[in-house]
């Protein structure tokens, strides 16, 4: 099999090869064809990753025989670099004075949030441009991009259908001489969830060393847990202008209420800078936590709507003095802590079981009476501890924790106690 990534090897080069988002493609072609410096000089292609936004920009430039100047905004985040690279290309014509040029700026949402100058420079590039400017982004609804949305022609690209994905996968299989069952391609497409890049990568992975793939060959591919899904829901909570808009956030995610609570709770401090707003948001979260506890204790699921309203609309409407600001969403630290502590506890249980088996004692006795001695030996005589470890059949992970055992587990992060006292 070729080592060249199939994503690049089979990137569509013409409209005939391109699949999906036909309406968006037509709008882009019409915009480029009718581009006028007195109108909107830039278009902003936005939508989820892997749907062909950058690819169609390359195809359209080739279609109209435009020279293409391409840059990645996440690699050129400062005002000076953006002005130097994109600004110069946008203001100048091509060789021999012809002005058939397209400026393509990818990953616009990668411009650093703290670098206000980078965004200002980008707006200046658009304002002064003598050539069409195509911007590409996944998420354009951050408050800091409000002016950019106003000066650009917005064209939305949606997730691809499974049919679109399968069509492209079949083309790849035909060229590669790979026989693939319809069931296998359907499974790959479904698990990619509209992301062509992921689907092609999966096809290349499962086909390695094979001439034929079946549904059984791809069954191990785990459905992707799209972190973007929870990010979109959090944006509804923190940037909502209406109660109903905020309340719809939970409907976007396939997640239990307690996990959704943890995500909202973790990210509240970064989204509210006024103490009054922060206090009210936490009051609403405290109420939500009480409802969730009562549901768990009494199985009274009628209270779920109240809990969800507090953690969505309650938090959203707490914003009175804090101006909306962009801040990266963080994974719940309490969940990360519990996951790492659970893994450590499982290692400790495995260690205790091996000691108990060799000494014909219970696990409790192994932890209580033998483990402290092993810990002391690990510190005072590592070579002897290594011999004992080999005799017990310890893994590297089990052996490594001997020198780091503590009598009590680490304390739960302080802020997790605030709401979690039930």
pLDDT in tens, 380-390: 788 888 888 88
In the DSSP assignment, the letter for residue 73 is T
Question: Closest Cα to residue 86, out of 31, 78, 139?
Answer: 78
**Residue that has been written with the tokens 């793939």 in this structure:** 213
Interval 201-217 mean pLDDT:
84
User: Is residue 57 predicted with pLDDT exceeding 90?
Assistant: yes
402 pLDDT band, cuts 50/70/90, is low
Q: What is the mean pLDDT of the chain?
A: 80
pLDDT value for 220: 65
Q: Is 152 left (phi over 0), alpha (psi -120 to 50) or beta?
A: beta
The set of residues, in sequence order, having a beta carbon less than 8 Å from that of 383 and lying 6+ positions away, is: none
Task: Dump pLDDT digits (tens) for 268-296.
Answer: 998 888 899 999 999 999 999 999 999 88
Structure tokens at 124: 């200046």
pLDDT value for 99: 53
5 pLDDT band, cuts 50/70/90, is confident
Q: Within 10 A of 44 (CB to CB), how many other CB atoms are there?
A: 24
In angstroms, the CA 404 to CA 93 distance is: 65
pLDDT value for 405: 45
Task: Dump pLDDT digits (tens) for 37-55.
Answer: 888 999 999 998 899 999 9
Percent residues over pLDDT 90 in the chain: 32
For residue 104, the surrounding DSSP H or E stretch is strand 101-106
User: Is residue 199 predicted with pLDDT exceeding 60?
Assistant: yes
Tell me the pTM: 0.52
Instruction: For CA atoms 318, 322, 324, 327, give the dihedral sign.
Output: negative
């Amino acid at each position: 099999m070729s080592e060249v990534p199939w994503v690049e090897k089979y990137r569509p080069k013409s409209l005939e090869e391109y699949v999906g988002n036909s309406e968006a493609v037509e709008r882009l072609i019409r915009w480029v064809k009718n581009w006028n410096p007195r109108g909107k000089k830039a278009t902003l292609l936005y939508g989820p990753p892997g749907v062909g936004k950058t690819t169609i920009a390359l195809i359209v430039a080739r279609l109209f025989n435009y020279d293409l100047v391409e840059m990645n905004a996440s690699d050129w985040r400062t005002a000076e670099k953006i002005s130097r690279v994109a600004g110069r290309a946008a203001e100048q014509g091509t060789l021999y004075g012809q002005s058939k040029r397209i400026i393509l700026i990818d990953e616009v949402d990668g411009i650093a949030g703290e670098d206000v100058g980078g965004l200002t420079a980008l707006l200046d590039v658009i304002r002064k441009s003598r050539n069409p400017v195509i911007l590409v982004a996944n998420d354009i609804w951050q408050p800091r991009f409000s002016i950019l949305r106003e000066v650009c022609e917005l064209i939305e690209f949606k997730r691809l259908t499974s049919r679109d994905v399968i069509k492209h996968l079949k083309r790849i299989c035909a060229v590669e001489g790979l026989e693939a069952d319809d069931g296998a391609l359907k499974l790959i497409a479904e698990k990619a969830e509209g992301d062509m890049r992921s689907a092609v990568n999966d096809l290349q992975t499962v086909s390695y060393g094979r001439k034929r793939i079946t549904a059984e060959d791809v069954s191990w591919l785990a459905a992707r847990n799209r972190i973007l899904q929870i990010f979109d829901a959090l944006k509804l909570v923190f940037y909502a202008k209406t109660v109903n808009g905020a309340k719809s956030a939970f409907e976007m995610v396939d997640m239990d209420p307690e996990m959704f609570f943890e995500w909202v709770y973790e990210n509240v401090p970064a989204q509210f800078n006024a103490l009054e707003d922060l206090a009210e948001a936490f009051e609403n979260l405290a109420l939500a936590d009480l409802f969730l506890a009562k549901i768990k204790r009494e199985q009274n699921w009628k209270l779920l709507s109240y809990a969800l309203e507090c953690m969505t609309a309650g938090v959203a409407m707490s914003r009175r003095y804090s101006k909306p600001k962009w801040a990266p969403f963080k994974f719940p630290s309490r969940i990360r802590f519990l996951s790492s502590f659970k893994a450590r506890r499982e290692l400790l249980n495995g260690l205790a079981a091996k000691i108990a088996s060799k000494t014909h004692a219970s696990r409790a006795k192994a932890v209580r009476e033998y483990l402290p001695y092993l810990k002391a030996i690990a510190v005072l005589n590592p070579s002897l501890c290594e011999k004992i470890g080999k005799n017990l059949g310890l893994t590297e992970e089990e052996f490594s924790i001997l020198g780091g055992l503590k009598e009590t587990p680490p304390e739960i992060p302080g802020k997790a106690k605030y709401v979690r006292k039930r």
